[in-house]
Amino acid sequence: MHPPLRRYSEKPTPHAQTVQGFTLLELLISLTIGLVILAASLQAYVSSSRNSRISQLETQLNEDGILALNLIQQQVKQAGYSQQLRPASESTVMGNYSGLAVRGCDHGFDNVGAPFDNLSCKSGPGPAALAIRYEATPDNTSPTNAGDPTNCIGNGILRVEPSQVAPAINPPAGPYALADNRYFVKTNGGQPSLSCQGTEKSGSGANAIGSAQPLLPDVEDMVIRYGIATQGSLELASSYDVMKHQIIKYATAAEIDALPSSGTITDPTQDRWSRVLSVRICVIMRSELPVQDAPDGAMKYKDCENVDRGITDNYLRRAFTTTVLLRNRLVTPP
């Protein structure tokens, strides 16, 4: 008999390595975390970029505001200036020019190019305007190549005004150049600018008020107040009264025009405006570009009257103020 057949089992195959994947829930959680991180990064980037942009515009606002005030106050400091001369037969020191130093309007001049004595005011609303007069020389202006003094936009002024010194000094005073510069805010193409026009040499060989030229963009508004005394400075050659020749208050141009007569100067305009001893200037600067989604703090500012204002057009705004003494109109005690 044959022995029974032995059943041999097959050699077992090694188990394959188990590969495990992410479940759908794990994928959703990972995706959500990634999106949160990405959103936070984008928000931080946008916020940083916006704050940087606002900081850049505010820096530019500060620089432009200071420049605007410097442009005007440099002229106000010279208002009423005249070279001091001594007549041949008198001991009193006199000047070529002793007329009004400044004249202003609260809401702009009705005709900016009108002669100084004929300037009239708009009824409003609108930015203020200021006219400044002084004797212009090559030393207190930037002279032309021919050596002539210049106005606020750099155009030459002829020496054609007769000297007020009488009798004439030796050598004679001769004609002099009278600067008559008007500062105001003008808007062209939606962009407001600080502008100026003044006396300059015309084509006929005489002086006339020239055309307006912009000096600095983004000056949106200007408010001016005037420090006034009880009496003017035109009649003070021989006397000084501390109670009458010091600043008693700051007034608008309309309030000055309504002042009662002091009884010392016949011409009412000279009587009133000769009392001005200082000028307080405030300008509202607007940013060059708008800022979208700026924080609430950047969308508010205080105007020239220190009143809180909101911003709705996304342009940043800031107010800048300075006060300038009319050094050539101050009266000092003997």
Q: For residue range 235-273, what is the model confidence (pLDDT) as tens digits?
A: 554 566 777 778 999 999 999 999 998 777 788 898 899
Alpha-carbon gap, residue 174 to 159, rounded angstroms? 9
Asked if the bond preceding 138 is cis, omega within 30° of 0, the reply is no
pLDDT in tens, 145-186: 999 999 999 999 999 999 888 777 777 788 999 999 999 999
pLDDT of residue 237: 46
pLDDT at 9 over 60: no
Provide the token pair at 66.
């200071």
Alpha carbon distance 263, 153 (integer Å): 38
Q: What is the mean pLDDT of residues 1-17?
A: 55
- Could you tell me which residues come within 8 angstroms of residue 103 by beta carbon, excluding any fewer than 6 positions away? 116, 119, 130, 131, 133, 269, 273
Q: How far apart are the first and last CA of the chain?
A: 158
Q: Is the pLDDT of residue 215 over 90?
A: yes
Q: Which has the minimum average pLDDT: 22-26, 101-105, 299-303?
A: 22-26
What pLDDT is stored for residue 121 in this prediction? 96
DSSP 227-267: EE-SS-STT-SS---TTTSS--EEE-HHHHHTPPP-SS-SS
Retrieve residue 186's tokens.
């003008």
Identify the weakest region by mean pLDDT among 28-32, 113-117, 129-133, 302-306. 28-32
β pairing state of 213-217 and 308-310: unpaired
pLDDT in tens, 110-154: 999 999 999 999 987 999 999 999 999 999 999 999 999 999 999
SS3 194: strand
Express as a percent the part of the chain with pLDDT over 70: 85
Q: pTM (2 decimals)? A: 0.82
Say which range, 18-22, 26-30, 249-253, 312-316, has the weakest mean pLDDT: 18-22
DSSP state of 296: G
Residue type, 257: D
Query: Stretch 38-44: mean pLDDT, rounded?
Result: 79
Task: State residue 205's pLDDT score.
Answer: 79
pLDDT of 276 = 94
Q: DSSP label at 167?
A: S
Greater pLDDT, 228 or 46: 228
Buried b (16+ CB within 10 A) or exposed e, 289-300: eebeebeeebbe
> What is each CA distance from 332 to 36, 80, 196, 263, 273, in whole angstroms?
72, 16, 32, 21, 19
- Per-chain mean pLDDT for the chain: 85
What is the spatial distance between Cα 226 and Cα 119, in angstroms, rounded to a whole number? 17
Residue 189 has pLDDT above 90, yes or no: no
Q: When comparing pLDDT for 75 and 239, which is higher?
A: 75
pLDDT of 199 higher than 90? yes
Mean pLDDT of 286-313: 84
